[in-house]
Structure 1
């Protein structure tokens, strides 16, 4: 009996309906209904025991019987209200949102099997235990509580005890802590979707006023609950803030900034230890869906572009304005295609990085040999990797070396400077100078390792030849890009104007 009960429609197909971690169950509504009705019944029974003359003046009902009766009645009401609210929520909100992205969302399921025990297993086991405990009461003489109320009440109490016991057991084993961390990440990421939904007025008009108020509350008044990544890179999540007043010194090593010039590098061992495999796997799944959607969209844009190109070539334009409008349409579609494909490539890069991390995490925990750590690449075998000519990589490292040498010179001049603003920030310049020298030593070590793979007399020649060949290819690519994005000379120089 390893089940997830009442799986919502479209689960895992959209950020608004994330797949909850298995130990916590697929739907929290059942747990809320069971626990809240039992707690309310316990409170009512306690109140009735203290004020028995006012609650049951004409009947003698024990506290236990009153608790069971209250639990049965409140449990029925709680389950009915929870089921109605759950159906209304998914039909009036999540189903509409998911249908914007997924053509045929997954239907709801009554249950679904899992590979590990869940809180809902404890709920079922507790309800079954309560039902078994109810059976002997059928032989009671003159019971003060009807049989169906006893059955519902004892089953509800048992289910509540099973839910609480399951949470306690999972807390003891540590599974609940990991699941709660993943759930909190999902909640924060989900809050971001409310922001996008609120500003999509065409989508907002499909919801009734109650759902609109719910979206407004989560999208505006709970914006503090956004994931931390949004504040670091808001453009990545579709949130665009006002540009800075002056960004000309953003890449200048002599710019007076409070933070260190170089981004601190993490310790890889500590990074592996702190890595959450479930979270990374969830990010990989999101990137996979994003990549497939972007590639499909790129194919559609390319198809639509080819249609317009055919129509442009085989049509007579009534005037110059119409002709220039058609040219701009072709240009903007080409730009859109390039950007969509670039986003798909970025998603593919993140998928590769996530799978690489998971592979090394698993290899590190299992003390696997070196082969398990190596990055898998289908186009390079072990023998090819050993004989590969890394001249292009060496050329890139040479560029980095020149950059770091220049930055070392800049920081050294800043440290020696007697200007007041430089004296006040000398400690920072010294730290940045040490970081720059460390970067220079690191790039020198990597270059030396790679240059040993190529005969010394051929290093410079091969690097220059491959860089020249790449520049020729890049020039061709630039010409193609310009052919797509360069505006007609009589209109202007803005490629997106």
Structure 2
């Protein structure tokens, strides 16, 4: 029993009807009706127990019976009034607002399954327990309360207990504070929609006078509930503000917000043609000098670190504070050394990139063959037989990242929320880029993975050929033959493939 009851129309498709966090339930009207009616019944029973002569002057009724009867009658009225107000609110207000933005709003639902437990699950469980507790009362003699009042009253009391117990449980687990924080953020964002609705006169004329007063009250007199982002950047939310003296910062922020998620990759041919050889050579020389200086400084920092380590090990510390200070000194010197070496490695990487660019630019201009384009590989004797498992593992991480980003962009494209609808073109472009990146990394992994089985197969063929050659050699050998002296190798057959 994991349900959300009385789901409102257009839920989650507009800021005016946000989707409440799961632990709090889909619609608070049921909880308000159950808890308020049970609380009012408890107050009435307490009053009646004190003034029995005024409440029940002609017959004796226990306080429990009065509580059950009041809970049943008030529960019916509270649920009926709550359902009527809820239906009027959604039919006269939220449905009209959502239909302006969403073509096919989600219709209301009596219930909806969810993956997490909610307060409404506790409400249903409590109501079921109350109904089960009512069944034995059917066999009572001369009951002072009618059977239907007892049934509704005890179910209502059980539902109220289930609601309160569920809130207490979610408060204990920590889910309720998080849900309330998210709900408060949704409410503040929802207040901003009343501002837009109030100033949209064509939309305002579709509401009746009562709803117009409700919108005016929330849009004008409750502006203090707006989210904090509105006061920092009102233009982002469509609110006019005083003109700023410097608009460059706002323009930069808007450009950054609308920029593509992935950095555009350059056309390599055009990049080589537009490359300035002199500036790249100068940058390579600067990187070389910078790398030498950083390596020298890193060596000096390592020397200082070793001195500090020797002094720390061969000295006594007067107190714990001095010891902790010396330990932190060692830690900071190690961090400084790591950063210097990282900067030196980055300078070396830039040197390699510049030299590689110049090599390929010269090869392109001279129409050189393929070998002139390839990067140097002194550590790899035969690149065709190299096992790229480490590179494949890194590419697999990128592949998982791109898959997750594709899912995120797909959900944003399908989303009917206002901020996602406004940026749908941007999300579509980012989704296309993410799919392109995913296809590219998949192609690279496929090409590299084909080399691993090929190498294993070559090794198996080589071992098989050696075993066959040994068998043939044993058959042709005479029964008596001197064994070769230790340390000498057996001559290889012509059929044996070269090692590698």
Sort the TM-score into its range (normalised by shorter chain). Answer: 0.5 to 0.7
Structure 1's 127 and 449: CA in aligned 2 closer, same or farther, altered over 3 A? farther
Residue equivalent to 2:42: 42
> Post-superposition shift, 1:240?
1.5
Residue equivalent to 1:157: 157
Structure 1's 445 and 19: CA in aligned 2 closer, same or farther, altered over 3 A? farther
Residue equivalent to 2:454: none
Residue equivalent to 1:454: 353
> Post-superposition shift, 1:446?
11
The aligned runs of 1:56-455 (5 Å cut-off) are 56-244=56-244, 246-247=245-246, 346=257, 349=260, 448=347, 451-455=350-354
> Post-superposition shift, 1:248?
8.6
CA deviation map 1:434-469 (0-9, x unaligned) = xxxxxxx9xx9998476245125958x98xxxxxxx
More deviation, 74-83/224-233: 224-233
CA deviation map 1:92-111 (0-9, x unaligned) = 00000000001110100000
> Post-superposition shift, 1:57?
1.1
> Post-superposition shift, 1:233?
1.1
SS at match of 1:60: coil
> Post-superposition shift, 1:129?
0.2
Structure 1's 147 and 446: CA in aligned 2 closer, same or farther, altered over 3 A? farther
Distance 2:167 2:247 in 1: 54
Structure 1's 223 and 157: CA in aligned 2 closer, same or farther, altered over 3 A? same
Distance 2:7 2:39 in 1: 25
> Post-superposition shift, 1:62?
0.5
Residues 390 and 450 in structure 1, CA contact (< 8 A), matched pair in contact too? no
Query: Between Structure 1 and Structure 2, how many residues are aligned?
Result: 293
Distance 1:165 1:61 in 2: 29
Residue equivalent to 2:9: 9
RMSD over aligned Cα atoms: 3.6
Give structure 1 regions of 4+ aligned residues with deviation exceeding 2 angstroms: 246-251, 345-349, 387-391, 444-453, 455-459
Q: How high is the TM-score relative to the length of structure 1?
A: 0.54
CA deviation map 1:341-393 (0-9, x unaligned) = x99x94685xx5xxxxxxxxxxxxxxxxxxxxxx9x9x98xxx9xx99999xx
The aligned runs of 1:474-485 (5 Å cut-off) are none
Q: Which runs of 5+ in 2 are unaligned?
A: 280-339, 362-500
SS at match of 1:6: strand
SS at match of 1:111: strand
Distance 1:248 1:27 in 2: 43
SS at match of 2:57: coil
Alignment of 1:55 onto 2:49 = no
SS at match of 2:353: coil
> Post-superposition shift, 1:51?
1.1
Radius of gyration: which is bigger? 2
SS at match of 1:85: helix
